[in-house]
Structure 1
């Protein structure tokens, strides 16, 4: 169980080496970044057929700062000193209580989910709000700290967005969890290059600090030219890109000097959601491979602590898993008098999409992590730029935000400058096909998810039908959620959402539901 924001509860069958499920409190239309709560605890308990042998709690801090009085093993620590366990009773049963640090939860999540066999040495990069460190996991599963590059890289990244945003009025010690993703979108409007004196001054001032939250408020920088400048001002978008490049470059130069064995690189922490940085790591030539889990941010911490407990008690630290490991869809059978329901026919849905209609799509279990990967998605044709604008209005998002594509794996290199799969939407690709205007960002990139017939057979079959009707096995794919909440997961919310946003139809179970206008 992971307390704090982006909470989660996961069940691991250690004997089978398998992740059974990972439930995130924000899913089912709870607020984004929700904490692990009593409702979540009861829901998880209902899924259990027996008392667990081990209750594993991710370390955390009791306040808003990572260094506050600890919950369990606390926030920091990578070695054995950051592990604790003892025997206790829960509900009258004898169990083991286990806790290890939040820092270790990131390391063991990405290690446990990575495709490399146990015992193969790996490097791990953990970069997030507080941490910016490299580690090595050796063949004996010992974690060695290679070095710290920068404290609080994620918070420093988010702070820059707040600095230029006139609507940001939070006091010192507060940042918005959604801002890093928005800054990533804005970076595409800027240009890499040598910094101007103003850009260098603000970049060095922010990046040399150990902490942002504890020591700096936005209004401390009232004299900066970038204070409330406006997010789409060309001076700010240029700074955003160069600031982002500088953060990456400091980690890259450290890795080039100190990570010289070519081991695979495993990426953990919220900065692992930055597709630009992931792509640069992949292309860096420093590592034989790069792996980023779909729950690289704190949504994977419950899994990571479970893997750490599994390592402690069994000596094994690898899991079989699927990204579709969150909860199943709930049909609560609302009254829907203005809906025409058809049996689900994928050719029918594909033809509907080809007419520039928008479909809310739910199938199977929710994705774990923050990205919609074909089971809780809003789908649309990818050809008209106006479709991107319409989807951003549906989502109540800023107009500078891009819409991602979902693509048949076998069509990837036809439409994008990429070879092989990209199943978790964690890298940027250059768009080759000029017809895909709705999913092409201002810098000619897209954040593609690939799908094959084994990974998600129904979505792959829909893309196949869409290709047969339009010539392209690509669709717009953005997350199905009310603004500010996690994925929609029940029919009543699905119906209400489509009604209030103007979405044309929705799919759940084996039903295709078209809303009468």
Structure 2
């Protein structure tokens, strides 16, 4: 019925604390019968002890029952707990529409689990088939390389993924020799990298380190998925956890692992585990109509006016309908632009305050997707896969240096407004594609309200619709 990110209310990027306004808005749908927490806190504190994080281990202020009272939930509301990777897995299962599936969960760390493979069927439920536990974390290793390359760990991993296209995977063997060894279906780390890898290989180019870590990640995930296809036998694969935000790796899995059907919940990281925790408690599918579950901006979008702004200014901001639940703008809190001018990427980067090397996503009507992009899945409504653009010279602002695009397809059923906007834009311009990026400035969360959207427009000189 409703799902939203705390950061959209506090305006603090990646805010981990529930916000009173978020609780108030959720409460407008009714008081909860029960709260389900997305991990087991006592088990997590045991891991804190093992990791030497004594402050976290001995603190009691973060215990869920005590913490939830501070954000305004009724004192007598029952609280139950599910395992962290169980919550991740169920967020995928309950929204996939699959009757059975193999499920891979890969993240930095839950309580102890860092990499798990499950089989699911209605008869047997969720069954663990493989696990790697702390400190053997693929996610932590990727975050360590994010820091090594000069970015913020646990936040800028997507930048490392984009940088990888500028490098060569020259250091794959160095990574395997120094930090990890591969087994079937997974891996183990030879060193705990929770605190980073320092200035490892100080003379290496960051671009080559990024490409090498990306290649290792893809290899681990493809081999794990191939093993799951053989050993579990389900025709469907679900990817969850923060690592499932790696759309380049997702595309390699889709092409190479042999699964005909692949599902990734559009919010596969910890924020999405709020949905997963509820689903794990219920142990059944949820009604899933799409990710537009957050704060509504109740304004009718003037589509011809948006097309006019795009035609005259080249860019237009759209803030309309319910906010997206997930890290990516999917048409309701979006900055749109004409992808054809060669300078448009630099222009939008200046508006956003981003690094020049980072790519932007194209958005296109679903029925035209495969005509313009060689995407490895039937549809990609949530920007979860990269694809080779079939006409890169036509849309230079949305094609990365390696010729790929992280594409979003739009169906008339799931997002009729954006679908119609794309249709009218093509009628006016002859171009079937728009550049789509999040409506926010550097270091800020997506705008949540119309007032915030207007502030963005005044600040950046962009018309807001």
Distance apart, 1:297 and its partner CA: 1.0
Structure 1 residues 501 and 252: alpha-carbon distance in aligned structure 2, compared to 1, 3 A threshold:
same
Aligned to 2:415: 456
> Using the alignment, how far apart are the partners of 2:193 and 2:408 within structure 1?
34
Taking a change above 3 Å as real, the CA distance of residues 38 and 244 of structure 1, as seen in their structure-2 partners, is closer
Q: Does 1:432 align with 2:390?
A: yes
Aligned residue in 2 for 1:132: 115
Change (3 A) 1:318 1:330: closer
| Equivalent residue number for residue 266 of structure 1 | 238
Separation in 1, partners of 2:394, 2:93? 39
Q: Distance in 2 between matches of 1:501 and 1:355?
A: 16
Aligned twin of 1:52: 32
Secondary structure of residue in 1 paired with 2:265: coil
1:283 aligns with 2:242: no
Structure 1 62/258 Cα, relative in aligned 2: closer, same or farther at 3 Å?
closer
CA contact (8 A) 1:56 1:305 kept: yes
TM-score by length of 2: 0.84
The answer as to whether partners of 1:366 and 1:376 remain within 8 angstroms in 2 is yes
SS in structure 2 at match of 1:129: coil
Q: 1:99 aligns with which of 73, 81, 90?
A: 81
Q: Secondary structure at the match of 1:506?
A: coil
- Tell me, yes or no, if the aligned pair for 1:29 and 1:486 is still in contact at 8 Å: no
Compute the displacement of 1:348 (Å): 3.3
Q: 2:435 is matched with which residue?
A: 476
* Corresponding residue of 1:144: 127
Q: Find the residue that maps to 1:293 and give its secondary structure.
A: coil
Quote the offset at 1:67 in angstroms.
Answer: 2.1
Q: Deviations over 1:456-491 (max 9, x none)?
A: 111111111110111122111000123222221223
TM, length-normalised to structure 1 = 0.76
> Any conservation in 1 of the 2:6–2:22 contact (CA below 8 Å)?
no
Could you list the runs of 5+ residues in structure 1 that have no partner in the other structure? 1-19, 71-89, 169-174, 230-234, 332-342, 508-517
Structure 1 residues 41 and 407, CA gap change in structure 2 (3 angstroms): closer
**Aligned twin of 2:167:** 190
Counterpart secondary structure, 1:125 = strand
Cα distance in 2 between the residues matched to 1:259 and 1:48: 41
Task: Tell me the C-alpha RMSD between the 2 structures.
Answer: 2.8
How many Å separate the matches in 2 of 1:38 and 1:28?
7
Alpha-carbon deviation of 1:409? 1.1
1:402 is aligned to: 359
Q: How far did 1:368 drift? A: 0.5
Deviations 1:283-302 (A, max 9, x none): 12422311111011112101
Q: Is 1:32 equivalent to 2:16 in the alignment?
A: no
Alignment of 1:186-265 (within 5 A): 186-191=163-168, 195=170, 199-208=172-181, 209=189, 212-214=192-194, 216-219=195-198, 221=199, 224-226=201-203, 235-257=205-227, 259-260=229-230, 261-265=233-237
Pick one of 13, 16, 22 that aligns with 2:3: 22
Q: What count of residue pairs does the alignment treat as equivalent?
A: 427
* Cα distance in 1 between the residues matched to 2:29 and 2:416: 28
Structure 1 CA distance for aligned equivalents of residues 11 and 124 of structure 2: 37
Runs of 4+ in 1 over 3 A off after TM superposition: 60-66, 90-93, 210-214, 216-219
Question: Is 1:181 aligned to residue 158 of structure 2?
Answer: yes
How far apart are the structure 2 equivalents of 1:344 and 1:103? Answer: 39
SS in 2 for 1:385: coil
Q: Which moved more, 1:479-488 or 1:147-156?
A: 147-156
Structure 1: distance between partners of 2:360 and 2:46? 33
In the alignment, structure 1 residue 349 sits paired with structure 2 residue 319: no
Structure 2 residue 94 is matched with structure 1 residue 112: yes
User: What is the deviation of 1:217?
Assistant: 4.0
Tell me by how many angstroms 1:389 deviates: 0.8
CA–CA distance in 1 between the matches of 2:430 and 2:413? 22
1:393 matched residue in structure 2 = 350
Note closer, same or farther for the CA distance 1:407–1:107 as it changes in structure 2 (3 Å cut). Answer: same
The structural deviation recorded for 1:429 is 0.9
CA contact (8 A) 2:366 2:411 kept: yes
Distance in 2, matches of 1:344 and 1:318, equals 29
